[in-house]
Amino acid sequence: MTHPSLLVTTSTAVLLVEGNGPRTIHTGCGIYFGLAWDRDFIYILCRNNLGHGKLRRILGYRVTIEILDKSFRQVDSVRCPSIHDPHQAIARDGCIYVANTGKDRIEIYNNNRFSSINWTGEQKDVHHINTIGFDESFFYVLENNKQQRSTVKVFDFNWQPVQDVSVGLGAHNIFRQDQMLYICSSLDRAMIRYDLRSKEITEFSLLGGEWLPRGLAKGNDRFYIGLSAEGTRQERHGRMPGKLIRTNEDFEIIDTVELDGAGQVNEVRLISELDGAHNKVPF
């Protein structure tokens, strides 16, 4: 992969992936998950788990939004006491929308204040809400549902429900192109294309089904997908191997970047051209 430039978040760092390979641009804030930007800044969600299990409960737990400029210099760090176990984030109209997985809702950060959208009535991780995106008409939220079929929830911009789509298993990421939804069906080890008109599901296996896809970017006629090795949560949040693949629109692999020792790949964003799976704001 020689030409495109991408930002990739992993269990250990934020990586800039270019023609000369991956380079760390931010580390030391725990596990890196959602990454988004607006016209001015980059926003990175970090889960600083100070240990695992009982040790984490003793030592503490902290979620922050790390704010960088477009030259990757630190600008600010925002503590997020209302957010627990976050996953994806997206920037829209001056707000940062966060999949607040541990609270089963969407959190909204705007002008140093937090508010939330909760349609489940839960206050803990029941539906494993891990993805938030939008296009010109709708919000798209993914209820991963853990070991059960995942659900894409479609809302209007007033957060009124429009449609539910049951698709994928242990899924992450949503990208809509015309009447097609694209989803990383992580526990199927595959990509899914869902036709909203015919309701037809097409599944594309990746690398023989040995790697878990998570993190999806879309360029002109290419997809960029993060792949993670399978392991326990503690292993995945350590330094297990990962990969970044580039595919055509039928998910045939064109080339691969090895992310040795990076840990679980959590997010992939394309910065050298407009990322159709992000917020339509050029980097």
Of the candidates 283, 242, 276, which has an alpha carbon nearest to the alpha carbon of residue 260? 242
pLDDT tens, position by position, 92-150: 999 999 999 999 999 999 999 999 999 999 999 999 999 999 999 999 999 999 989 99
Q: What is the pLDDT of residue 52?
A: 56
pLDDT at 48: 86
The arithmetic mean of pLDDT across residues 248-263, rounded, is 94
Tokens of 78: 């925002």
Summarize pLDDT for 23-77 with one digit per residue, the tens: 999 999 999 999 999 999 999 999 986 555 565 555 567 999 999 999 999 999 9
Query: What residue spans of the chain are helical by DSSP H?
Result: 54-59, 233-236
The per-residue pLDDT for 160 is: 98
Q: What is the pTM of this model?
A: 0.94
Say which range, 53-57, 110-114, 206-210, 240-244, has the weakest mean pLDDT. 53-57
Let me know if 18 is exposed, middle or buried by CB neighbors in 10 A (0-12, 13-18, 19+): middle
Residue 259 is encoded by which pair of tokens? 């992310």
Q: Specify the residue for token string 């911009």.
A: 157
Q: Which residues pair with 22 in a beta bridge?
A: 17
Q: What's the mean pLDDT when you consider all of the chain?
A: 93
Pick the closest to residue 31 from 17, 5, 13 (CA basis). 13
Interatomic CA distance for residues 52 and 276, integer angstroms: 36
C-alpha–C-alpha distance, residues 21 and 117, integer Å? 39
